[in-house]
Structure 1
């Protein structure tokens, strides 16, 4: 079991690092490909768009195919497409390879979320979910800064490193991951449309998923342009941006690991309301940061709060159905990456036209406010739909 947990953590760490790698590299890539700020966000969006579109297919398939084979070939494709990103000679070629990397990742991560409840003992399931989630959090704390520092030598090096590690993990999947076929899962094949129709057949599900999408829209609108804003406003180098990302990841990891104690003390409703209020306040004052130290502290607190709120959201969504957990994870991932796509494009447009980060902060704050209203109106925080 320990080998599986290490494998789950490692896969999520590598994919998490690749997912957010472009943001701190945007200033370098803008210069490399000679593109303006208002369209540079597409290098973030193309990966997210590929993931968002194909997660809708990969999620339901994770309940009907041998997950080991899907995960292995998905990881191999992820390695190849990420390697090709490092060889891109133009802006649009980079977008094509990032799109392919997003498609590949969409066939990997749903297998992990769907496999944990099956491969681990019941009493270890929550631990397994936590370790997989920690892989994503720590990828921000360590993976992104390391990638930024490597990129200071050349922007392509992080892509080549991630590709090499991903290929190695592919063979670990082949060796350590057990075969998991539909007969073991006791699930009858069901059409994709039927699975999603059954899941979204009530107002609780509809409002909850809509709220989750709005949250991610605002979340990634701010995140995608952080590197560009820091370079423009404070003249941060790529290494300094990497250091900011280190504090960001540290905050997220702290929130993920110790947030449950805070939620138990406050309750889900109170923790959600308080967290959203603090996030809005911190984002509104962020553009007026007097120093780099303030920026690091502000972002660390912001992402610590997000680390506390994210498990509440995902845990609540998982209560919507006990028979479609893979579909729930797939839809949540699709909404997250759709939010990433639209958020990055909107942020790039707003900042490219005005160079006022406060507009992005206000947009993110509005999204957070709409999210908490929708999520609470759905009733998902106080009830479970079977």
Structure 2
């Protein structure tokens, strides 16, 4: 199937070299995405300790992950069309403000229902914030810069695992899990201030066309390459989050590690994922988008199975986990970039839906994964994840042109 993906130069400089102002913009996004990523990933190693504090089971804590993801998945497509006709800076700041308030509230939770409510609100704030960051990058950096900047900002997710998760686990083990959320909220406030002073206000140039908010959904439905890209993201992220969400529980039960040591295991994952932001280009640049996605997906199918079969050695488990992290770090930015540029006239809506489908994958992964690991085994969970990522690879073969 032939597919033309258009990179549109935005209002930032047309040379590949970034100015100091642009670097501050990238840094502010990096810091904010780091905290939002930490809020998503820190739950896995803390599931048990938070569950004990709130007197609930592992499956009950899994619902905290599900609620965050569900409100993101529901909120993103509702918010998206309004982002098309307003300043993305305002949407970014409003979303980060809601997220910050919710994250701090998580730290004050002493009942399960309150923690659930705060997690749901955090998901809603993230739904407003993250897609608009990606849309801002796609619309305000030129063709040479956009993939590079997207990779740099998404590297914050990797660093949040490599640095944030171990530190958050250490804080939870040394003081209480509440402080992990309070400190995250403080850093989020700092990121909000930097965005306020560094990111310029950008107004969509096609305001008249954006008046009809349903037009953007019609654009996506009419373009097969667009809506198939969303399902490509859904199946890929289900496969990942079904495994990732319950890694902390699996490691604790299989290798009998403490909360602090579980956090250290995630260092290997995070550092490897972060390294892929720099060295993944050696794979993606010569191969192109399509072959990179296919290669990453196929390698992950093997690694998912190996994760379940290396339960006799923590060293082998960590090595396989690091490889999973690397190839996820190579493949996922390609999926995100594709969905950010495939439909320039509805960029905010498309990036919002892409993130919505990502979190829908998280929702299904955390809920279905919780059932699979509790009723069957981690091996069964891994096999279902292998099937899911294989579907994503199959879609990529159909939707992406040979020259991408």
TM range (shorter): over 0.9
Number of the residue aligned with 2:125: 104
Q: Does structure 2 retain, via aligned residues, the 8 Å contact 1:62–1:114?
A: no
Number of the residue aligned with 1:14: 35
Secondary structure of the corresponding residue to residue 155 of structure 2? helix
CA root-mean-square deviation: 2.0
Secondary structure of the corresponding residue to residue 55 of structure 1? helix
**CA drift at 1:128:** 2.4
Number of the residue aligned with 2:202: 180
Number of the residue aligned with 1:336: 358
Alignment of 1:1-386 (within 5 A): 1-120=22-141, 123-152=144-173, 153-182=175-204, 184=205, 188-289=209-310, 290-354=312-376, 356-378=377-399, 380-382=400-402
Larger mean Cα displacement after TM superposition, 56-65 or 11-20? 56-65
Separation in 2 of the partners of 1:310 and 1:55? 19
Separation in 2 of the partners of 1:216 and 1:19? 13
Cα displacement string for residues 287-331 of structure 1 (whole angstroms, at most 9, x for unaligned residues): 232222111111110110111111222233344222222222111
Separation in 2 of the partners of 1:381 and 1:244? 38
Separation in 1 of the partners of 2:193 and 2:398? 46
**CA drift at 1:53:** 1.2
Q: Does structure 2 retain, via aligned residues, the 8 Å contact 1:251–1:301?
A: yes
State the TM-score, normalizing by the size of structure 2.
0.88
Cα displacement string for residues 171-219 of structure 1 (whole angstroms, at most 9, x for unaligned residues): 222222222234x565632433321121121433333322221111111
Distance change in 2, residues 1:40/1:317 (3 Å): same
Distance change in 2, residues 1:167/1:117 (3 Å): same
**CA drift at 1:119:** 4.2
Number of the residue aligned with 2:17: none
**CA drift at 1:121:** 5.6
Secondary structure of the corresponding residue to residue 88 of structure 1? coil
Separation in 1 of the partners of 2:219 and 2:327? 32
Number of the residue aligned with 2:6: none
Separation in 1 of the partners of 2:214 and 2:292? 35
Separation in 2 of the partners of 1:196 and 1:303? 33
**CA drift at 1:161:** 0.4
Distance change in 2, residues 1:372/1:254 (3 Å): same
Q: Does structure 2 retain, via aligned residues, the 8 Å contact 1:63–1:114?
A: no
Separation in 1 of the partners of 2:32 and 2:106? 19
Separation in 1 of the partners of 2:80 and 2:115? 26
Distance change in 2, residues 1:338/1:359 (3 Å): same
Q: For structure 1, which runs of at least 5 residues remain unmatched after alignment?
A: none
Larger mean Cα displacement after TM superposition, 227-236 or 263-272? 263-272
Separation in 2 of the partners of 1:225 and 1:293? 19
Report how many residues are paired. Answer: 381
Q: For structure 2, which runs of at least 5 residues remain unmatched after alignment?
A: 1-21
**CA drift at 1:18:** 0.9
Distance change in 2, residues 1:319/1:174 (3 Å): closer
Number of the residue aligned with 2:19: none
Number of the residue aligned with 2:12: none
**CA drift at 1:269:** 4.3
Q: Does structure 2 retain, via aligned residues, the 8 Å contact 1:21–1:144?
A: yes
